[in-house]
Amino acid sequence: MGTVLAVSRFLLESNGKQITIVVMATETPNRYLLSDVVVCRELGISQRTLQRQLLAGKIQAPVGKIAKNRRGWSRAEIDYLREQIAGVVDELTETAAQ
């Protein structure tokens, strides 16, 4: 496991019971990070689409960097990105249907 960058605590309440969830963001070693090109291939989108969605703020940029000006995506970030993209696609589909 890498260096801990941030710790967030969430308090959830359900049926009178309180649950504390702790989420830790860790630094992933560069050798495990994937470039935009690889991420786009896995998600089936173009690099331009990824760039547009990042600039529009519809998806979140990764924490890691492969090099000075290159984003590095961890597997967890790719899974989260897949969910975000699915939400954007659903939103576009609903808009087109109206």
CATH number reported for the structural domain that contains residue 82 in this entry? 1.10.1660
Higher-scoring residue by pLDDT: 25, 66: 66
Domain membership of residue 16 (yes or no) is no
12, two tokens: 């959830």
Contact assessment for residue 39 and residue 54, using Cβ atoms and an 8 Å cutoff: no
- Would you call 2 helix, strand, or coil by DSSP? coil
Range of the domain at 72: 29-97
Domain membership of residue 75 (yes or no) is yes
Q: What is the pTM (predicted TM-score) of this model?
A: 0.58
The pLDDT of residue 48 is 93
Q: Which long-range contacts (CB under 8 A, 24 or more apart) does 2-5 make?
A: 2/26, 2/27, 2/28, 2/29, 3/27, 5/63
What's the mean per-residue pLDDT of the chain?
75
Domain membership of residue 44 (yes or no) is yes
Q: Which helix (H) or strand (E) holds 92?
A: helix 75-97
